[in-house]
Amino acid sequence: MSCLFFCSPDEREQLLKHGGDATMHLESAYDLREKLNVDIGRAKTIRSGICKSLFDVNSDVSSSFAMLNAHKQKPWLISTGVMALDEGLKSGWQLGAISEVAGPEGSGRTTLCLKAVVQAVLPVGFSGSAAGAVVIDTEFSFSAETLRTQIASRIGFYNKELIDECLQRVTILQLSNSSELESTLAEIDSMLIEQKAVVFVIDCLATLARRSFDPANVPERQAFLARVSSRVKTVCEALQVAALVTNIQTKEGDASTVALGELWAHCVNTRIVLSSHDSDHVFRIMKSPRVPLYKGRLPTDAIHNGMESEEGVSNSQILGFYD
């Protein structure tokens, strides 16, 4: 539950002026008192509510170690759902970071995002995380039916009750322009907390940027990308969510270029570039804080059918914890 739910309309207005509630649990009650213009008792009540909803602990001094331990015990990697990619990334997508999946049309960008969502929402008994996911879809390629098919493929049989339970853990938002994206990002922390999300997808940021800005208006587009990257980074770090953002790779002559420019490239923690030649699907890890440059092959059935053969399935759920 979001801090916004514990606030009056006037308090919400003050809170949003300070960037929303993604990091409000890190503020002291005295800081909240100043920011929200409330008395100390009210500030403690608000902070206690958000800490309880995030960590299931109280916010008094005696619970500080409990909050710290809850944060430390939170998983920090979630499997991609593709064994070859897990091996390349040393176990999966990093929570609290932005991972970019770039590639030309048909290379499997959206499929990898779908697999991450499925990995997040499947029950633990099916090697999932029993958590939630929020998807911002700018290409209108995500749908409940597509996810239903992916989940059924992953578990190996059709169970309507189980699949419906998984689908309830997913929020899909279809947006058409940059203004809608920025408005949504202003409130995204509330959605992520409500869904107990571990995966947050934007598919595809480049499509939306190209749709919203004239190619000649580079400064305005770059300013937009700076605001988006800052907001996404703040939220995913505060809530320990794996942010997956897809991008477009274009080819001019013999050279291939990933869209959105250098400013955006510096904002992402991990960059995966996909390519396909006939039936061969290749991924390249071009940037990562954890692994060197890496090249690997994706199973063809994982891209086209959304599922892998037995030897390609990753049975890992969430791999790795903070020390």
Confidence band for 174, pLDDT divided at 50, 70 and 90: very high
Over 50: is that where the pLDDT of 228 sits?
Answer: yes
pTM, two decimals, is 0.73
How far is residue 133's CA from residue 124's CA, in Å, rounded to a whole number? 15
Residue-range domain boundaries for the chain: 3-72, 77-312
143: alpha, beta or left? (left if phi > 0; alpha if psi -120 to 50): beta
Most trustworthy range by pLDDT among 44-53, 69-78, 157-166: 157-166
Residue 104 contacts residue 272 (beta carbons within 8 Å): no
Peptide bond into 113 cis (omega under 30): no
What are the Cα distances from residue 50, in Å, to 190, 191, 244, 253? Answer: 11, 14, 25, 53
Q: What is the pLDDT of residue 317?
A: 31
Over 50: is that where the pLDDT of 185 sits?
Answer: yes
Over 70: is that where the pLDDT of 263 sits?
Answer: yes
Among 2.40.50.140, 3.40.50.300, 3.30.360.10, 3.40.50.620, what is the CATH number of 77-312?
3.40.50.300
**Which one is predicted more confidently, 299 or 129?**
129
How far is residue 37's CA from residue 51's CA, in Å, rounded to a whole number? 20
Q: What is the pLDDT of residue 268?
A: 95
Q: What is the pLDDT of residue 216?
A: 87
Q: What is the pLDDT of residue 16?
A: 60
Most trustworthy range by pLDDT among 5-9, 27-31, 254-258, 260-264: 260-264
Query: Looking at 15-24, 112-121, 147-156, 234-243, which range is the least confident one?
Result: 15-24
What value does the CA radius of gyration of the chain take, rounded to a whole number of Å?
Answer: 20
Q: What is the pLDDT of residue 31?
A: 74
Taking CA 296 as the corner, what is the angle to CA 293 and CA 297, rounded to the nearest 5 degrees? 160
**Which one is predicted more confidently, 280 or 23?**
280
Confidence band for 58, pLDDT divided at 50, 70 and 90: very low
pLDDT digits (tens, 9 = 90+) for 62-85: 444 554 454 445 557 899 988 899
The average confidence (pLDDT) of the chain is 80
Q: What is the pLDDT of residue 72?
A: 47
Assigned token pair, 80: 């991609």
Confidence band for 53, pLDDT divided at 50, 70 and 90: low
Rounded mean pLDDT, 40-68: 59
